Amino acid sequence: MFSVARKSVLRQARTQLRLSQPVTVPQYTSYSKLLSTLALLEQKDGKLSNSSLVAISAGTKLGGPITAFVAGSGAKSVAEEAAKVKGIEKIVYVENASYDRGLPENYAPLLIDNIKKGGYTHILAGHSAFGKNVMPRVAALLDSQMISDIIAIDSEDTFVRPIYAGNAILTVQSSDSTKLITVRGTAFPAPETDGGAAAIEEGSDPKAESPTEWVSEDLAKSDRPDLGSADKVVSGGRGLKSKEEFDRLIPPLADALGAAIGASRAAVDSGFADNSLQVGQTGKNVAPQLYLCAGISGAIQHLAGMKDSKVIAAINKDADAPIFQVADVGLVGDLFEKVPELTEKLKSQ
Amino acid sequence: MSGLRVLVPIKRVLDYTLKPRINAAQTAVENSALKHSMNPFDELSIEEAVRLRERKVPIDEITVFTAGPPKSQDMLRTAMALGADKGIHVRIEKGPELEPLGVAKLLKKVVEEQKSDLVILGKQSIDDDAGQTGQMLAGLLGWPQATQASKVEITDKTVTVIKEVDGGVETVKANLPMIITTDLRLNEPRYASLPNIMKAKKKPLEKKTLEDYGLDVEPRLKTIKVTEPPPRKGGVKVDDVDGMIGKLKELGAL
């Protein structure tokens, strides 16, 4: 245990040294001399997706130099924007509209080309829909057993990830020479987006054809904070009884708190809320400062997505609901009375 | 035109309602005595294959596949009771469970052997939560992939899939052969009726071993330890809304 801690302290010190004095040659150990990370950044409509910066945060823990990668139309301007993010040494961009939709069939060959060119040992991406879709394909083509959804890094080859809906925590050591890893967004702090000065370089473009055609998308529009990264989340479940009641009670409470809206699977399946709002093992993982839920019993699969929240508050009429076993603050009562009352009292503060 | 040959890989996992037990040595999850079921996402895959056939998409054969201990055979029988035509069981008696990459390599061989042109997999198994196998198989075969499908339509050789993505849905289109992984919203799996369970006992089930496929599926990941997640401190119950606001302020959440 001590040796692990000591190693990571050394590694951090090394990182600090490299960041503050880029010209000095850092004293790498023989192993970490080979360590070099490629962090996959996501862009949408020419805008950097801040949630993908978690790949940089995780890369910083590894200790070697970090190269970021971005592709699509407007990738160069995204690269210029991302160059200010602290911790990145270099950004490789590929400007080509064929990569806008992140289709894995042509994105995988693109990534592999650039991985081989750069000789990276660690490829990191956020555990987002894009990361989940493209990274395993890349891993298979590089004959590497990918590691999904890590929550901690023990050393260059040892990673920690939840299994069984977060009911067990697995530490694994990888023997693959190229390690492909997706990173749980809520497990690492976002890097500073100011003060960096990464070099920008054009990457290689194999221009593979995609047999898959992107047809359309339908994204839920919302002015509220993004569910995955919000400080506060207000979540509703089956207890809301209908979409009308969900819409009547949950958004005002979320607005009073400046919170994002989430939902349990039961609420989503019953059509109360959009699929993209589902929190849980098969939906989104959230770890806000405050997770306030009403009418959610607290099934294993739901807890998997929210039990790392700093403070959990629950309103439920069933005093024996499992949610109360994890809630820091529990209120047994009828949500149809308590939620509006809470909303009013929060607003008047 | 000959019909589609659909392959549906399934996995036997700890029943989703149960909590895993971690052994005292913290080396593994010990669940052998607990109830196991088919991975819920795999039930959706079978249901979808059967529904495609019911929607008159020409399908010659639906093959279910699993790799695992002798008991995984029960899952194949269940799948056949739900409408699959035949099963293939790669028996793995001892040693660690195959990793997604190993499963994908094995499935590639099965796809070639069975001349499959559509593979429908669950988006993840609820035990290791990796969510990799379908994408890896697509990569190894060089086929198009559509992950987290909530709707699948097949006309002639073209497959249109609505996928669940962060923030909404997205529609993609590709020609067969193709890999699809299923999301919860895709369908609602049916229950097997008793007559169908009886009929499933007579459906063909091939028994194979890893050696039959001549594969190196040595694990790449070594388990260092398996631990319980840190428990949350027991919270308090408050009597009213004011109590809740007060407590949340005290905890610094408001």
* Low-confidence stretches of chain B (pLDDT beneath 50): none
Domain coverage including residue B96: 4-250
> Angle, to 10 degrees, between the axis of helix B100-114 and the axis of helix A129-141?
70
Ramachandran region, residue B204 (left: φ > 0; alpha: ψ -120 to 50; beta: rest): beta
A144, A87 in Cβ contact below 8 A?
no
A326, A298 in Cβ contact below 8 A?
yes
- A 119-178 residues inside an 8 A Cβ radius of B: 128-130, 132-141, 143-149, 154, 158, 161-176
* DSSP class of B99: P
Q: B224: domain CATH number?
A: 3.40.50.620
**B200 to chain A, minimum CA–CA distance in Å?**
30
Residue A170 half-sphere exposure toward CB, CA atoms < 13 A: 24
Amino acid residing at B1: M
* Residue B218: CB atoms within 10 Å: 10
| pLDDT tens track for B164-198 | 998 899 999 999 999 999 999 999 999 999 999 99
**Residues in Cβ contact with B182 at an 8 Å cutoff, skipping those fewer than 6 apart:** B41, B44, B45, B48, B120, B121, B122, B123, B148, B149
* Residue B201: CB atoms within 10 Å: 10
- Nearest CA among A230, A228, A330 for reference residue A278: A228
Examine the pLDDT at A17 and tell me if it is beyond 70.
no
| pLDDT tens track for A278-288 | 999 989 999 99
B241, A342 in Cβ contact below 8 A?
yes
Note whether B185 contacts A275, CB cutoff 8 Å.
Answer: yes
A58, A153 in Cβ contact below 8 A?
yes
Could you tell me where the DSSP H helices lie in chain B?
40-54, 73-81, 100-114, 133-141, 194-200, 210-213, 241-250
Give CA–CA dist A183/A147, Å, rounded. 9
Vertex A44 angle, CA A42 and A45, to 5°: 145
Give CA–CA dist A90/A98, Å, rounded. 23
pLDDT > 90: percent of chain A = 86
Q: Quick one: pLDDT at residue B1?
A: 52
A234, A286 in Cβ contact below 8 A?
no
Dihedral pair phi/psi, residue B13, rounded to 5°:
-135, 165
Encoding tokens for residue A186? Answer: 């809520």
| pLDDT tens track for A210-259 | 999 999 999 988 889 989 889 999 999 999 999 999 999 999 999 999 99
Examine the pLDDT at A19 and tell me if it is beyond 80.
no
Give CA–CA dist A138/A147, Å, rounded. 12
* Residue A189: CB atoms within 10 Å: 10
What strand order describes the sheet that includes A199-202?
A147-150, A179-183, A122-126, A37-40, A66-72, A90-95, A199-202
Examine the pLDDT at A25 and tell me if it is beyond 70.
no
Mutation choice for A interface testing from B16, B128, B132 by most A CBs within 10 A: B132
A12, β-bridge pairs:
none
Give CA–CA dist A265/A271, Å, rounded. 10
Total residues found in chain B within this entry: 254
Task: Give the pLDDT band of residue A187 (cuts 50, 70, 90).
Answer: very high
ipTM of the complex: 0.96
A316 is in an annotated binding site: yes
The rounded mean pLDDT for chain A is 91
Domains of chain A and CATH, by start: 33-202 (3.40.50.620), 232-348 (3.40.50.1220)
Examine the pLDDT at A28 and tell me if it is beyond 80.
no
Note whether A218 contacts B222, CB cutoff 8 Å.
Answer: no
Examine the pLDDT at A4 and tell me if it is beyond 60.
no
User: Dihedral of CA A146/A151/A155/A156: which sign?
Assistant: positive
| pLDDT tens track for A29-58 | 445 558 999 999 999 999 999 899 999 999
Note whether B245 contacts A103, CB cutoff 8 Å.
Answer: no
User: Dihedral of CA B210/B211/B215/B219: which sign?
Assistant: positive
Distances B128 to A43, A298, B12, B19, B37 between C-alpha atoms, Å: 29, 21, 12, 13, 15
Distances A81 to A39, A46, B109, B245 between C-alpha atoms, Å: 15, 10, 45, 40
Which residues of chain B have a CB within 8 Å of the CB of A219? 167-169
Give CA–CA dist B171/A10, Å, rounded. 47
Give CA–CA dist A348/B79, Å, rounded. 57
Q: Quick one: pLDDT at residue A20?
A: 45
DSSP 3-state of B141: helix
Give CA–CA dist A219/B184, Å, rounded. 18
Q: Quick one: pLDDT at residue A11?
A: 53
Which residues of chain A have a CB within 8 Å of the CB of B165? 129-130, 217, 276
**Residues in Cβ contact with A117 at an 8 Å cutoff, skipping those fewer than 6 apart:** A203, A204
Residue of B nearest to A261 (CA): B167
Q: pTM here?
A: 0.91
Calculate mean pLDDT across residues A178-183.
98
**A283 to chain B, minimum CA–CA distance in Å?**
9
| pLDDT tens track for A76-100 | 999 999 999 999 999 999 999 999 9
Residue of B nearest to A300 (CA): B17
Could you tell me where the DSSP H helices lie in A128-168?
129-141
Residue B180 half-sphere exposure toward CB, CA atoms < 13 A: 37
B30, β-bridge pairs:
none
A298 is in an annotated binding site: yes
Q: Is A282 on the interface with B (CB under 8 A)?
A: yes
A288, A262 in Cβ contact below 8 A?
no
Q: Quick one: pLDDT at residue A282?
A: 87
Mutation choice for B interface testing from A171, A317, A329 by most B CBs within 10 A: A329
| pLDDT tens track for B206-216 | 999 999 999 98
A217, B170 in Cβ contact below 8 A?
yes
DSSP 3-state of A292: strand
Q: How many domains does chain B have?
A: 1
